[in-house]
Amino acid sequence: MEIFETPLPGVGTRYEFTAEAGDHVGVVVRRDGRRDIALYDREDPDACRGTIELTEGDASKVAELLGGTNITTRLDELTHTVEGLAIEWATMPESGGLTGRTLGEGRIRTQTGASVVAVIRKEAGIPGPMPDFVFKAGDTVLVMGAADAVHRATRVLTG
């Protein structure tokens, strides 16, 4: 299945794919964390049959219901496909590092070149955390990038 990604300046990113049953589906991931899911008409792919708006929490719940926990299997496959790609799961400490601070304060992407892709907090998955996301003790953070960048990012996160 091919997923098409379209940047929407000032808004976020739109992802589109055609489901195996033939439905054309779009997901807009907004910069504020909200998600819009759109279902397009099969006969006219420019006509939208309906949309639903999800908060960040709603999106996490739906992702979990749809098998979001399978992400680790897909990430393992990705690291074998993309030469030099590394992933690391870092657990936030009780104190130190970026615990109690925002992702933006850590400037991880700018300083290390690695990306924080997702955070797991208790039972909830938080994909694509925004710069104002505050890390809490016990959060499990997924970091992705080149091996040395991921190592540096993990040190920034955990102290």
* pLDDT single digits (tens) 93-123: 999 999 999 999 999 999 999 999 989 887 7
What tokens does 2 get? 């091919």
Residues 115 and 74 in one domain: yes
pLDDT score for 3: 84
**Domain total in the chain:** 2
* Contact call for residues 158 and 93 (beta carbons, < 8 A): yes
In a domain, 125, yes or no: yes
Residue 49: domain span: 4-54
Residues 47 and 82 in one domain: no
Q: Which residues of the chain have pLDDT under 50?
A: none
What tokens does 144 get? 């992705």
pLDDT score for 30: 84
In a domain, 61, yes or no: no
Per-residue burial over 85-124, b = 16 or more CB atoms within 10 Å of its CB, e = otherwise: ebbbebebbeeebbbeeebeebebbeebebbbbbbbbeee
Residues 50 and 83 in one domain: no
In a domain, 123, yes or no: yes
What tokens does 62 get? 């739906």
